[in-house]
């Protein structure tokens, strides 16, 4: 299945703005300095300038403008919009830690926001790594615990989008990314199992294969886990366990299933299924 790639550039969320009089009073109460070129700008102008900078890729310039708008329009829907778009600019600018902090604050302060689905989706994107599961193939090294944690955090954010907002325009893309994450984590376990098998450490290969089969059922990588499991049992002359695993393999993938491992083909995440 090839996912339809979605545009993640945030659009202005349709929130009901407070009366202009209130916005004006907020502006009047904010002090400014002579060195601030935005001192006399209206919130709409700040927003427009920030959006222009973000759209052109000048995220380092967009972030402080969104922050300024957050302060001047505090307590209004426009401030919420600024917060979300600041998180997006931070994410695109490579400031992932800051983006996550901004999104966590938004989620905590605005639990009933009509843009909550987008906030959760963006949080999932910040933690999402479309090379997940491929580092081991490239460097022959295990994935770090940090990469696995980020993947699981990403999965949880996408899961919330799907379960809490099933009709959201971000739901389908979230489902596809969840599938990718699960299969990639399974691939990591399978890669480690293959590493042990190739070096004759069959007991360790069996343990990692069983972990993949138990924790990541129903994903493509599990077929390789079954192959390694069967071959490891055979190498240890554990014939009954080997035959049991072989029967499971045949019932799942057909009696003509060959005990061959798939190649380490590195498809893009949206071409995985």
Q: pLDDT tens, 86-140?
A: 999 999 999 999 999 999 999 999 999 999 999 999 999 999 976 554 444 444 4
pTM for the full model?
A: 0.71
Q: pLDDT tens digit string along 8-63?
A: 555 555 554 444 444 444 444 544 446 788 888 999 999 999 999 999 999 999 99
Mean pLDDT across the chain, nearest whole number? 82
Q: How many beta carbons lie within 10 A of that of residue 146, not counting itself? A: 8
201-258 per-position pLDDT tens digit? 999 999 999 999 999 888 888 999 999 999 999 999 999 999 999 999 999 888 766 6
The helix-helix angle for 202-215 and 222-235 (nearest 10°) equals 150
Q: What is the tally of helices (H) and strands (E) in the chain?
A: 12, 0
Question: Which of 1.25.40.10, 2.170.130.10, 1.10.150.130, 3.30.70.560 is the CATH number of 183-271?
Answer: 1.25.40.10
| Dist. CA 246–CA 148, nearest whole Å | 30
Place of tokens 């905590």: 108
- Residues 55, 61: Cα–Cα separation, whole Å: 11
Give the Cα separation of 273 and 189 in Å (integer): 19
Rounded-to-integer distance, Cα 79 and Cα 101, Å: 16
């Amino acid at each position: 299945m090839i996912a339809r790639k979605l545009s993640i550039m945030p659009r202005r969320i349709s929130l009901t703005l407070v009366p202009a009089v209130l916005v004006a009073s907020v502006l009047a109460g904010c002090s400014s300095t002579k060195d601030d070129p935005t001192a006399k700008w209206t919130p709409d102008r700040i927003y427009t300038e920030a959006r222009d900078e973000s759209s052109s890729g000048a995220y380092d310039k967009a972030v402080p403008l969104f922050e300024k708008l957050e302060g001047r329009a505090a307590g209004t829907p426009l401030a919420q919009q600024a917060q979300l778009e600041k998180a997006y600019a931070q994410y695109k600018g490579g400031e992932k830690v800051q983006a996550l902090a901004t999104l966590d604050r938004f989620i905590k302060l605005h639990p009933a926001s009509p843009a909550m689905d987008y906030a959760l989706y963006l949080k999932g994107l910040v933690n999402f790594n479309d090379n997940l599961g491929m580092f081991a193939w490239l460097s022959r090294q295990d994935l770090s615990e940090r990469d696995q944690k980020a993947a699981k955090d990403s999965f949880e954010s996408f899961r919330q989008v799907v379960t809490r907002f099933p009709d959201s325009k971000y739901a389908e893309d979230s489902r596809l990314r969840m599938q990718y994450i699960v299969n990639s984590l399974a691939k990591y376990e399978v890669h480690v199992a293959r590493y042990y098998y190739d070096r004759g450490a069959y007991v360790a290969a069996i343990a990692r294969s069983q972990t993949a089969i138990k924790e990541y059922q129903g994903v493509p990588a599990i077929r390789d886990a079954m192959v390694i499991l069967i071959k490891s049992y055979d190498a240890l002359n554990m014939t009954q366990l080997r035959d049991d695993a072989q029967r499971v393999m045949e019932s799942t993938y057909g009696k003509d299933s060959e005990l061959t491992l798939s190649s380490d083909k590195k498809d893009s995440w949206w071409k995985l299924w």
